Structures are given as C-alpha cells and as structure tokens.
Amino acid sequence: MSESEMVFSFLTKLNALTGGLFLLCAFGLVGIRQMLTCLRIYVFQALLLAVSAVILGYYHASIHLFVVAALTIVTKVFIIPWVLRQAVGYESYAKREISQVLNIPTSLLISIAITIFAYYIAGPLLAANGAGAFEKVNLPIGMASLLIGAYTVTVRGEAVPQLLGILAMENGAFFAGISIASNLPLIAELAAAFYVLITVLVIGLLAMRIHTVIAKTAVGEMMALREE
Amino acid sequence: MELLYILIISLLAAALSLLPVGKRFAPGVTILGSLAVFLLSLRTALATAAGGEITAIADYLACDSFSALILLLVAFVGLTAAIFSWGYIATTVGETDDRKIRRYYSRFNLFLLSMLAVPIFSQLALVWIAVEMTTLLSVFLVSFESTPQALEAAWKYAVLTCMGASLALIGILLLRWGMGPSPNVAFTWAGLLAASPQMPPALLYTAFLFILIGFGTKAGLVPMHTWLPDAHSQAPSPICAILSGIETTAVLYCIMRLLPMFQGGAAADIGKWFIIFGLISAGVASFLLIQAKDYKRLFAFSTVEHMGIIMVAAGLGGYAAHFGAMMQIVSHTVTKSLCFFAAGATLMATGTRNIGAIRGLIRISPLAGTFLMVGGLGIAGAPPFAVFLSEFSILKAGIMNGQYLVIGLLAFFIAVAFFGIMLQINRMVFGRPEIILMDESALQFARSTAPKHYILPLACIIALLATVIPVILFGVYLPEQLYQLLHQAAASLGRV
C-alpha cells in the first residue's frame, strides 16, 4: 500500500468513527432527560462536526472546510452555550428534568427506525451520484441526525430542549453538507454561521420573554390558540 | 444596480428608525424608504417585463421576470403596510411609548429587507438564508403585543419554521451535490436549470421533496400549517398583511422555481405532488374557515386556501395554468393585504377580534365596514374583483387540460370558502350596531348597543385606498406591462 492510500484509509476510518459518535450524540439528545447534559451533548456533537470538517478539509485540501470547522467551534462550542445560559438563566434549565410525551425506550426505538429510514433514502442517492467514502458516512448520518432532531422537537414540551432539537437538526444538515456541498462560496458559509447565531439569539430571547410573561417555559402547555 | 440600492435603502431605513428624534421621524423614514424601494422595484419590473434578466452582482444578485414580480409585490405591500402602520401603531401603542414605536419600525424595515432579499438573491444558499431570516426577523413582530397568546404564536412560528428550514437546507445541499464537485459552476436558479438535465433523477426528486416539505412549512401548506393561523392572527395588522399577503407567496416562489427542472414524466410526477398538497391545503382550510371565531384567523385560513389554489395551478402544468398561478399570486397578495388592513381598521373601531361580538360595523365605522366587505368579497372570489378573474382562469385552464376531478374538487372548495367567508363578514358588517366586549377583570360580557362612531386615522384610509385600487382594477383590466411581466413569468415556469 502506498503512502497516500494509507493516509486515505486512515482518514476514512477516522471519519467513520466521528460519524458514529455524531449519531450517538443524536441518540443521546433523545435519551437523556437532564437539560445540562443535553446541552453538553450538543456541544460535543458540534465539536465532532468540526472534526469531520477538518478531516474532509485535509483530504480535499480545501481551505473552506477549515473555515467551516473554525466557525463551528467558535459559534457552537463557545458562543451558543454562553448565550443560552445568559438568555434562559441557570435555574430554568440546569436543575430541571425534561418532560417528554413518549417515554425514553420508545423514543430510542423510534430513533433507530428513523436512522434505518435515513439510510434507506440516502442509499439510492449515493448510488446515483457516484459517492466517495466520505459521502457514504456523512450523508446518511447527517440525515438521520436531522430527522431525529425533528422528532426531539416534536416530543419535548420545553423551550430549551426544543431549541436544542432545532440546533441538532442544523448540525445534521451541516454534517451532510460538508461532504456533499463542500464547495459553497465562503460568503454562504459565513452567512450560515451568522444565521445559526441569530436563531439561538431570537429563540432564546423569546423563551426568556415567555418565561417572564407566563412564568414557565413549558411551551408544550401553551394551548390558548387552537381550533375548537 | 437598482437591486443593490433596494437592499441598502431598507437597511438604512432600519438603522435610521432607531434614532431618537421626534415622534414622526421613524414612521416618516420608513414610508419614504419603502416608497423609494417601491419605485426602484417598479423600474426593475418594467425592465424585466420584456424578458431577460437584470444583474447587479453576477451569480449573487439578479432578477428575472418571476423574481421581479415577487419583488414588486413585496415592495407594494411593504409601502402600503408602512403607511397603514403610521395610523395603526400610533393608535394601538399610544403616543407615549416612543421606544416601542422606534423598535417596531426598525424591525419592520429589517423584516422588509429580508423579504426583498428573497427574490433579489439568485444564489440558492443565500436565498435559503434570506427565507429563514424572514422568519427570525419577524418573530418579535408577531410577539409585539406581548400577550400570552402572541408569545405562544411567535414560539410556534419560530420553532416550526426553523424545523422546516433545516429540511429545506438538506434539499438545497443535495442540489448542489448534483451539480458536480467543480467549484466554478454558478449555484444560481439559472445555473441549476442549466445543470438539471445531467443530474440523476433520484437526486432531483429527493431534493425536491425535502424542499417542498421544508419550505412548505413556511408557506403554510396543510398539514404543516398549524402555526400559520396563530402567527397571522396575533401579529399587528400591518405585519399580518405582509406575513399573509406576501411572505407565504415569496416562499412558494422558491418551491415553484424548481418546477422547470423536471422534464417529461418527471414533470408530471412533480405536478402531482403540487396538486395533492394544493388540494389538501385548499380543502382543509376551506372547512376550517367556517368555524373561525376570530376574523383575523378567518383571513389566515383563507391564506392557506389560496396557497393551495396556487399550488394546484402550478401543478396542472401548461402555459395557461401557469399564467393563472401568476395572476393568482398577484390578486391574492393585493386582496389579502386589503383584508388585513380592513381587519386592522375593524379592530381599531371595535376593540375586539371576535366575529360574534360585532354587529352593524358599517354603522359604527362606515369606512372600516365598507373595506371589510370589499376585502371579504374580493378574497372570497366574487366578481368583478381580481381574485375572481384569476381563479376563473385557473379553473378554465384545468378544464382545458382535462383534469376534471381536480378542478371539480377545487371549485367545490372555493365555493365552500366563499360561503364561509361571506357568512361571517355579513354578520359583522350589517345589522343593528352592537359590540360585545368581555370585561377581563370581572369575567363578564358587557354589551354596548350604541357604540361610539369611530373615525379612522387618515394614514389608514390612504393605505386602504391604495390597496383597493388594484383589487378592483385587476378584476376588469390588466395593464399591458403587468400582462407582459406575468406572461414572461408564466413562460419561465415551463421548460423552454
């Protein structure tokens, strides 16, 4: 085996490991009730996204992906957790356990079904578009994380966990994105990082407003507006 | 360069409205800014009516006929909403709270900026960001009144549309993947159209479905519509006019832009998705209209119904149906903004949003009553208003295509919605004047049988008059330039 082949095989394995951990984080966000732990898992997931971007960036010799990795670390590992603590306040998420409409074992089983479904839709795409080793890992795992995030938002009735679900969805989309659309212009990547920040800021502030007006953040219990 | 100026002007207006100089400054700047934006958009629209594209920055900022049409509509609703806000916000917020008023206008301008960016951007990744910015920048406008209901509506709005955003993002990234690894291809609407014959059909199809579900959430298609009646009824009326009149349509524009990428059998498949989602939306919304108890909610459901009609028209295929879809976009936008301005006027005159609580509006405030009646008739699709003409041309195109079942169902839903809207509006507008208000503290109903005569602020009357002109005019006559613009836009939906 030549040296470049060895590097390639090493990078593929490293990326597969990152992908596996990434998916595990998505499951963790479904399966863990403590809010602070959920936030930590989210940060770790973002870190894995950055690791995968660095691996791909090294392989493709693409400066864009390094920028993505740097932006991810700055925004999602440092700024977002800080903003969440500021906006929502320690007491409203640190101690609390999250209530969930469906219990955790059922949720984990549904997440497994979602993952299989993600592989099922990603399969034909990978075959049709001549995918390489990295796409084969990143696309289905990104999709699975996206859909599991959507599931989390639906079953959790609290403001911060819903926001974390949305952010996990975004992580999933970006995880797929770094492998399949690594050549987006830089401005789009900067705008995307900015967009994620604005999302957290807006939804965080809104959660704080809700907290001050109706003295709780159980958004799932807000039922004034509906059809009779 | 008009396109760049449009964006810069609204950004400037947003910054200037924060300056604490006088009560009239922020609304004044907003109206002037949106007037300038409207004139520039009109110029752009006229330039593209003959076909061709206007480019400000290659691969990033460009407008063809379809996007110019949306741009013009955004600018029109933006201008009228800015004028309406002058009267509405001063009355509802009260002259005392200067900071709140300035914040409102600043957010209004930022929201308008993001709306204008949707048609102006041609780079798909940026279009996606612009669409999401329209949500994030309008969340605090929806929750502006800070009541528990408004906050609930804003929360649902933010969370559901952000979920949709991520789904649409993966669709857009898949499209970029299909265009090949070369960094030099332009990821624009035009570039995508050129590259689409080489893209694997499975990939195009999957990307389309992700985008349909993702952006469909924001366009208010059933079953992802649950946030729409809440957000569109709780926001202040001028904002409702923008949200309902044009924001939904601007997102629909992004979905419709994907249509010409599909050819032959694939086009028919995609058309079916449009028709299925359209019929479900129109059907569910037309029956939900009947039981609405809040007149702003009534109009919000009517928006879902109209999005359904546009979807069906786009899915029918063929030039005639596409032309009908374009006309429907125009007539819905102008009529729906009239409806929400009239609803705002009614709210100012009566102080309640409850349909059952208002009788004889035409005697309490003759202007609000008349405009509400015209808006109701217009949006329900009575002749001779604009919506009648566009709905009629869609039904006609469908019959020519031989889609009898689809057209039969659509006509039925339109008829149900007509009776639903007219029944409710009639009850409110005519009869002996009476307002029933609920006394929050005593939890009792207070019936006032001789309500005070209410006179609308002048700015509101001007906005209502400016909006009612196209509602009536386009029902009987389409100006030649507008016809050309619609023609070009409809042609761009089919494969050349």
For residue range B366-404, list pLDDT tens digits in order. 999 999 999 999 999 998 899 999 999 999 999 998 999
Q: What burial letters (b/e) apply to B137-147, b meaning 16+ CB within 10 Å?
A: bbbbbbbbeee
B62, containing H or E segment: strand B61-63
User: Which residue of B lies nearest to A152 if distances are taken between CA atoms?
Assistant: B163
Mean pLDDT, rounded, of chain A: 86
**CA gyration radius, chain B:** 22
How much is the pLDDT for B383? 87
Strands B54-57 and B61-63, sheet pairing? antiparallel
For B202, which residue in chain A has the nearest alpha carbon?
A125
CB contact under 8 A, A180 and B200: no
- At B440 the pLDDT is 62
Q: Domains of chain B: which residue ranges?
A: 2-493
Chain B CA closest to residue A191 = B129
Inter-chain touch B129–A191, beta carbons under 8 Å: yes
Q: What is the mean pLDDT of residues B478-496?
A: 88
Look at residue A44 in the predicted model and tell me its pLDDT. 93
Among partner residues A166, A173, A225, which is closest to B159 by beta-carbon distance? A166
- Taking Cα atoms as reference points, which of A20, A88, A15 lies closest to residue A51? A15
Q: How confident is the model at residue B441 (pLDDT cuts 50, 70, 90)?
A: low
> Tens digits of per-residue pLDDT, B198-217?
899 889 999 999 999 999 99
Residue B345 has pLDDT above 90, yes or no: yes
CB A99 within 8 A of CB A158: yes
Using pLDDT thresholds of 50, 70 and 90, give the confidence band for residue B439. Answer: low
| pLDDT of A92 strictly over 60 | no
Which chain A residues contact residue B151 at CB under 8 A? 206, 209-210, 213-214, 222
Tell me what the mean pLDDT of segment A44-68 comes to: 90
Task: Determine the residue type at B37.
Answer: V
How many angstroms from the chain centroid is the CA of residue B49?
22
Give the integer Cα–Cα distance in Å for B177 and A143: 15
Contact predicate A163/A204, CB 8 Å: yes
Task: Flag if A203 and B291 touch (Cβ within 8 Å).
Answer: no
Please name the member of B126, B158, B291 whose beta carbon is closest to the beta carbon of A188.
B126
Contacts of residue B322, Cβ cutoff 8 Å, sequence gap at least 6: B313, B314, B490, B491, B493, B494
Structure tokens that stand for B116 in this block: 């204008």
Taking the C-alpha atoms of residue A37 and residue A202, their distance in angstroms, rounded to an integer, is 23
B437's tokens = 């208000």
In sequence order, what are the beta bridge partners of B358?
B435
pLDDT of residue B232: 92
Name, in order, each residue with C-beta under 8 angstroms of B52's C-beta and a sequence gap of 6 or more: B64
Across the interface, do A206 and B136 touch by the CB < 8 Å criterion? no
Kindly list the residues from chain A whose CB atom is less than 8 angstroms away from the CB atom of residue B163: 150, 153, 166, 169
CA distance B315 to B305: 15
The burial class, CB within 10 Å (0-12 / 13-18 / 19+), for A220 is middle
User: Do B37 and B77 touch, CB atoms closer than 8 A?
Assistant: no
| Phi and psi at residue A95, to the nearest 5° | -85, -25
Task: Name the phi and psi angles at A101, rounded to 5.
Answer: -65, -45
Q: Is the pLDDT of residue B96 over 90?
A: no
Query: In the predicted model, is pLDDT for residue B443 greater than 90?
Result: no
pLDDT tens digit string along B119-140? 999 999 999 999 999 999 999 9
Residue A69 has pLDDT above 70, yes or no: yes
Q: Within 10 Å of residue B469's Cβ, how many Cβ atoms?
A: 11
Cα separation, B172 vs A191, whole angstroms: 15
End-to-end Cα distance, chain B? 28
Q: How far is it, in rounded angstroms, from Cα A200 to Cα B454?
A: 43
- How large is the C-alpha radius of gyration of chain A? 18
- What would the mean pLDDT of A46-73 be, rounded to a whole number? 90
Q: Give dist(CA A40, CA B263) in Å, integer.
A: 47
Residue-averaged pLDDT of chain B: 91
Mean pLDDT comparison of A54-63, A188-197, B171-180, B409-418, highest-scoring range: B409-418
Residues from chain A that touch B126, judged by Cβ atoms under 8 A, are: 187-188, 191
Give the single-character DSSP code of B196. G
The two beta strands, B444-448 and B434-439, are antiparallel
Q: Provide the sign of the torsion angle of the four alpha carbons B83, B87, B90, B92, taken in this order.
A: negative
DSSP B453: P
Q: Please report, rounded to a whole number, the percentage of residues in chain B having pLDDT higher than 70.
A: 98
Beta bridge partners of B436: B447
With cut-offs at 50, 70 and 90, classify the pLDDT of residue A96.
low
Structural contact between residues A168 and A215, judged by C-beta atoms closer than 8 angstroms: no
Residues B86, A61: Cα–Cα separation, whole Å: 55
Taking an 8 Å cut-off on Cβ atoms, the answer to whether A210 and B151 are in contact is yes
Is A219:B158 a contact under the CB 8 Å cutoff? Answer: no
**Chain A residues touching residue B125 (CB < 8 angstroms):** 184-185, 188, 191-192
Q: Which residue has the tokens 């696309």?
A: A139
Looking at the DSSP bridge assignments, the partners of residue B447 are B436
Amino acid identity, residue B108?
Answer: F
Distance CA B293, CA B447 (A): 18
List, in sequence order, every residue forming a beta bridge with A97; answer none if it has no partner: A34
Chain B: give the shortest CA distance to residue A106, in Å: 22
CA distance B106 to chain A (A): 16
Measured between CB atoms, which of A121, A222, A227 is closest to B291?
A227
Q: Which helix (H) or strand (E) holds B57?
A: strand B54-57
Euclidean distance between CA atoms B139 and B154, whole angstroms = 6
DSSP assignment of A19-62: HHHHHHHHHHHHH--BHHHHHHHHHHHHHHHHHHHHHHHHHHT-
Contacts of B149 in chain A (CB under 8 A): 224-225
Residue contact A222–B126, C-beta within 8 A:
no
Q: Is A71 helix (H, G, I), strand (E, B) or coil?
A: helix
